[in-house]
Amino acid sequence: MQFENSFDVPLPPAEAWKVLMDVPRIAPCLPGAELTETLGPDKYKGRAGVKIGPVHLSFAGEAEIVAKDEAALKATIKGKGNDTKGRGQASAMVDFFLVDHDGGTRVNVKTDLNMTGMVAQYGRASGLMKEIAGAILGQFAENLRKEIDRAPPAAAQVAAAAGAAVDSAAPTVTSAPERTTQPAAPATAPISAFSILWIALKSWIAGMFGKKTG
């Protein structure tokens, strides 16, 4: 199934691109997801969970940025994962591109999602899946805004410049191996499908009333 969503980032497109390409930094902003290992340039391993009533789906898999065009501010991410209890698989190709919007950046996202096995029953309603994806991206955008507020790019650049000045007098350190394991992080709570569905329902109701009164 295919669906499209968008979210806003309170930075100019060039700065927003750099933040979004920093996967270890933004991964904790995605609700229910956790980055567990860096496999190489632009390739990562992680897990994600979603709770639907008494059913807890937990996926473990990999994601890779398979194409990126910094000049055009476009990228493609390929991801795949298996349910840890063997109930099926999910895979997705996600294309996104950044455009200038109201002094910041709008990120337009196009997702091609495929689910197989028992978990496929949760993805049969493509319209609902779009609403759920929109709700997740909305939470991600809010978390990302908080992350940007905590470490604004300008401050980060000043700190990096100061660190470089100090390090210039220090002995050269051998670079770390390409394959690294991420530091241990607090357990990530699974996404609550009920809360996401409630957000989606409110959005749908608001849209219906908007159409009637518009």
Q: What is the structure's pLDDT at 152?
A: 62
104 pairs with which residues across the strands? 101
For range 37-49, the mean pLDDT: 91
Q: What is the structure's pLDDT at 114?
A: 87
Residue 209 falls inside a structural domain? no
Tell which residue, 32, 86, 91, 96, has the closest CA to residue 63. 91
In contact, 38 and 147? CB cutoff 8 Å: no
Q: What is the pLDDT of residues 52-78, one digit of tens each?
A: 556 677 889 999 999 999 999 999 999
Q: What is the structure's pLDDT at 131?
A: 72
Q: Where is average pLDDT lowest: 2-6, 22-26, 56-60, 158-162?
A: 158-162
Structural domain span for residue 26: 2-160
Residue 134 falls inside a structural domain? yes
- The CATH number of residue 38's host domain is 3.30.530.20
For range 76-88, the mean pLDDT: 91
Is pLDDT above 80 for 176?
A: no
Higher pLDDT, 164 or 108: 108
Q: What is the structure's pLDDT at 52?
A: 58
Residue 9 falls inside a structural domain? yes
How many domains, in total, are found in the chain? 1
* CA dihedral over 49, 50, 55, 59, signed as positive or negative: negative
